[in-house]
Amino acid sequence: MTDTHSNSTRRRFLALGGATAAGSLAGCFGLFSNDNTEVGVSLSDFRGSGPLVESRDQPGGTSIQDLPPLEGDLTVYLGGGEGGLYVDLLDLFEQAYDNFSVEHRVEGSSSLATTIIEENEAGASQADVFMSVDAGSLGAVAKAGATQSLPSEALEAVPGSFQDGDGRWVGFAGRARAIPYNTNTLSPSDLPNSVHDFPDTAALEGTMGWAPTYGAFQSFITAMRLNRSDDVARSWLNSMQNHGITEYDNEFAVSNSAANGELAAGFANHYYSLRVQSARQNAPLDLYFTEGDAGALVNVSGLEILSGTGNAELAGNFVRHVLSAEAQEFFATRTFAYPMISGVQPVGGLPRIDDLNPPDIDLTELADVEGTVDLMQDVGVL
């Protein structure tokens, strides 16, 4: 079994209940375009609220005040369950720039990817930009030749593992797999470095929970298949069932049950624990991260410019705005996602995204879940 007493700083106790940054927000300040025209929003409009957001420093990175103003009309396809939150960001950009207007369409990521590919084949593209919670859908659109290259400034701002190798799509918000655990029951030294060692950890027998019908969990198993093999994923699922694990409908419920002490630990995306902690500041809940395996997967929401756009310059400027300090602060503090630029810290005492150790896999391959569902059904998990 892997040594459970690693000194890796990213795996130590994460002080979810406390403030995460020295200094404090010094009130609202106006944002200005580079022609010195004041725009109608401030950092506080982008930033969320609550105990995990208090006492944050100003974000680093490129501010929207240092970017060319957004001017013109843009059509954006928004794919996935976070679409409503993305609409809030579009509204802020419209408030910031009087001469900027966005039309948007919100649907499932895979459905919109199919629509974009069909429109591209017909030479009748209806959108300029595709934003998606699913890297696989972004990859499918890029593979179909329906995208164009992104601005170099956008690609340079984001780690290479969270963008397409050909510069066709780039991540703007991350979600990390993690282990929510009850701090009254467990300490980090009780948890193994590798997710593959969990079935052999006696302290966890009969005390863990998962949500196998949840898309994020199925992406996790897909990552295990890609990172190791189908046989390894099958064996792990069987072993966890034999170890005794409780099934939940979703990963927020897993995280909340760990906070309640009904579970010692579980498998979930990181932000569900932050949502629990934001509502229950003193909950005995913390996060643990494994290293280099599917349990350490970091998936992304991303965006790409569509090849049929007649607004390539505006679309490129829009991409840079989504990766601005203010927009990245929006994703970090309103959705508790991982920001993609180094100048913006995550909330809740989380390690920065470049301090995590995710598996080396192509994120676009996570879209191929059919084999995962078949495998999970075969072992009786679904």
pLDDT on residue 82: 67
Q: Which amino acid is at 336?
A: F
Residue 327 to residue 157: CA distance in whole angstroms? 13
pLDDT on residue 5: 36
175-297+359-378: in CATH 3.90.1150.10: no
Q: Which amino acid is at 279?
A: A
Which of the residues in the chain have pLDDT under 70? 1-39, 81-83
Residue 271 to residue 241: CA distance in whole angstroms? 25
pLDDT on residue 23: 32
Strands 147-148 and 100-107: what pairing? Answer: unpaired
pLDDT on residue 54: 83
**Is 100 within 8 Å of 33 (Cβ atoms)?**
no
Residue 14, helix vs strand vs coil? coil
- Kindly report the CATH class assigned to 21-174+300-351: alpha beta
Main-chain dihedrals φ then ψ at residue 121, nearest 5 degrees: -65, -30
Whether the domain at 21-174+300-351 and the domain at 175-297+359-378 fall into the same CATH topology: yes
Helix, strand, coil percentages for the chain (3-state, nearest 5) = 40, 20, 40
The DSSP code for 163 is B
pLDDT on residue 218: 93
In the chain, where are the structural domains located?
21-174+300-351, 175-297+359-378
What are the b/e assignments for 298-322, b being 16+ CB within 10 Å?
A: bbbbbbbbbbbbebeebbbbbbbbb
